[in-house]
Chain A
Amino acid sequence: MTCPHRILTLFAVVALSVVPGLPPSAHAQKPLKMGAIVPVSGPAAAFGLGVQRGMEFAAEDIGVFTVAGEKYKLEVVTYDTVYDPGKTVAAMNRAVYNDGVKYGVIIGAGVHPPILPIIRETGFLDLAFAAAGRQITNGENPTVFRIMASSDQLYQTHLQPIIERLNVKRVATLGPNDELGKNDAKVVRVQVEAMKAKGVQLVAEEYYERGAKDFGPALLRLIAHKPDFIETDGSPTGSIALIAKQARELGFTGYFLNSTAVLEAKAISDIAGKAGDNIIALRIWAKPPTQLYAQLADRHQKKYGEAAPGTMWEAYAATKWVADVIQKTGTFDTKKVADALAQSTYPDHPFGPASWGGEKTYGAKRQIILPIPAAILKDGKWEPFDVRTGKFD
């Protein structure tokens, strides 16, 4: 095969391979595609798995619905971002421009900056699962909603009450050295400074490589400052369990706080054993807050044989909420749906009645407001850790 033919075959293969996906099979109702643009491999895979399964459960429960006289069924399409900004752009290009996806859940403050321009240009309705990142929910991004409690919200409402209740005086922070970790540390610093009068001070701040397994070096320096409270920002399950275990090994006896994690009591106690006690986790329910919450948990256990990752419930709720609003407004136009969504409330969210807020902090009503639980780990089980929570608007 001489050289020129080789070039032509190359060109033909490229053209062929980008042919858009197969046309949707023409069964009774047309599919409404919703994207799960989440990490399904790599260190943050557990976050993505919960969202994917939560959305699929929601699609099953919603079943067939009508919009402007047409019958539709929700179809969840997963695009693996591997928590890498470059791959997230590729996923968005595929979803938005090829598969015609207009709605989706996207995980990770760190991967948002390169796709926000695409979201603004195409009006993609992004249900963001991103605790940090003030630049996500604001006036410039009308179609971006944060469907989980943000770091600002968590810490503004919970940090000071928890510190007071435990009578903590020396706070230290240890988080992943990425967008999430650095942002949470900033928010914590502000809250702790506000309690200077009560003698509370921030004594140490350390970071670790996301996905690292050995926290000895970071913990050594931290524990040297004799903290009685270690805030571990957005450390995932594997990390917080190892941090607890290794910190106890180094003689730390105080409390841990974790804000945005996907924590299962069993997973932590398997890894850390008794060392896992006294971990306080925000966004984790010790007792199911609603009937729906418990049903979803059992359904996941039956179907997958393992405990549900913590992101499942919020993804389930957001998907159903958006589907309801689309049905009510009778249009797929994301601008209209976004405006309607912002005004609407969602009483049967698995966490409890939910609405939108955040104008004061973010300048746009795009931050979900819902009951924020706190729980403390005792002998491998979560126990409620109710504190009088501060206000967030």
Chain B
Amino acid sequence: MKTAALVLLLLALVALPPLAEPYMLHVAIVVLMNAVYAEALYVIMRMGYLSFGHAGYIAVGAYTSALLATKLGMSVWLGFLAGGTAAALLAWLLGMVTLKLRGIYFSLSVFAFAEVVNAVFRAFDFFGGPAGIAGVPRPMFFGVRLNTHLGFYYVVLGAAVISLGFLYRLAATRFGFTLLALRTRDTEGLAESVGIDAARYKTLAFVVSCFFCGLMGAIHGHYLRFVSPFVFTFFFSTDLVIFNMAGGLGSFWGPLAGSVLLTALGEQLFAAGYYKSLVYAVVLLVVILALPGGLIQLPRLREAWAARRLRWAKQPVATTER
């Protein structure tokens, strides 16, 4: 039954767009991109790691692809992959260092990394400095440059289906299952004692998460046809965290629900930036306080409350996560 519904949805996503208005295609593109970013971040949030710097990896992907396309005239499709690989490589290098840290230390170190990335892109003319890089071309498809919304929509849809499919199945693999064993310092000790090389698994998870951020970041850059240090900012990272938390960390569907609903809603609040951040913040607080499991826990709200009350009784005031 579940696969039938999925196939139905996919068919709709492929067949309906030609009838849709360009604006709806724009919203669909943004929704699909945010869904992949949110699910990519979910890979490490499911592991108990909170990152306020994923926008940095998205920016690395976007800049890599943009530079290859504008400076070397490389095929844009290769640029997408290069964007993902560059972000993954950087994640591997930095992961070995930052993943030794846990809790807020990790979050702030990734945040610092994103600030340095933006500072570098702004400082050096090679990266276009503060003006960024304009004229980033759309991909060619059998001789046609996909400049229309419809054309590029299918590029984003294809990338999203592959990415979300991979990330969904990843949770079902033993690799995905093992990541659950690394949530806190104690369970990591236990994991080591049953033969799990925690450092390697964490780094791999971080690399996978950043690969898809870089890949979709590259596509994002080509959608805007422009990359600049002012697009993938600190607030971009917090939005992704909000999608995850609002949707719920309990399952793969949480971040998907969170990102789709909040992005679609955000597109309506165009009149003022602070309306959108107010709505995001209120939704986030209501969910964190009243729906412990996030929006997808809605049907099983009573259980979620019971579990929290039980957990709450034993919890210390000073959180133990160092």
Contact = CB atoms under 8 A, between A and B. Distances in A.
A–B contact via C-beta, under 8 angstroms: yes
Contacts of A42: 273
Contact of A18 (B12, B23, B123, B225): B23
Contacts of B232: 86
Interface residues of B, number: 53
Nearest to A37: B270
B233 interface: yes
B9 A94 contact: no
A205 to B, nearest CB: 14
B25 to A, nearest CB: 8
B230 A18 contact: no
Interface string A356-393: 00000000000000000000000000000000000000
Interface stretch (B188-196, B254-262, B280-288): B254-262
A338 B214 CA distance: 41
A85 B274 contact: no
A204 B124 CA distance: 19
A27 B134 CA distance: 43
Interface of B is mostly: helix
A3 B168 CA distance: 13
B39 to A, nearest CB: 13
Contacts of A182: 129-131
A79 interface: yes
A20 B31 contact: no
Interface in B14-41: 21-24, 26-28, 30-31
B1 interface: yes
A6 interface: yes
B201 interface: no
Contacts of B1: 2, 4
Interface of A is mostly: helix
Given A110-B131, A177-B122, A98 B21 contact: yes
Contacts of B265: 17
A292 interface: no
Nearest to A94: B270
A110 B132 CA distance: 8
A7 B260 CA distance: 11
B272 A110 contact: no
Contacts of B30: 90
A113 interface: yes
B256 A177 contact: no
Given A10-B260, A18-B267, A94 B23 contact: yes
A304 interface: no
A178 B224 contact: no
Nearest to B226: A114
A167 interface: no
Contact of B270 (A5, A85, A86, A91): A91
B228 interface: yes
B146 to A, nearest CB: 12
16 contacts: A4-B5, A4-B6, A6-B253, A10-B260, A11-B12, A17-B265, A20-B21, A40-B273, A85-B226, A87-B273, A110-B131, A113-B132, A113-B134, A114-B224, A177-B122, A178-B230
Interface of A: 1-8, 10-11, 13-14, 17-18, 20, 39-42, 78-80, 82-87, 89-91, 93-94, 97-98, 110, 113-114, 116-117, 121, 135, 177-179, 181-183
Closest 3 CB pairs of A and B: A4-B5, A113-B134, A98-B23
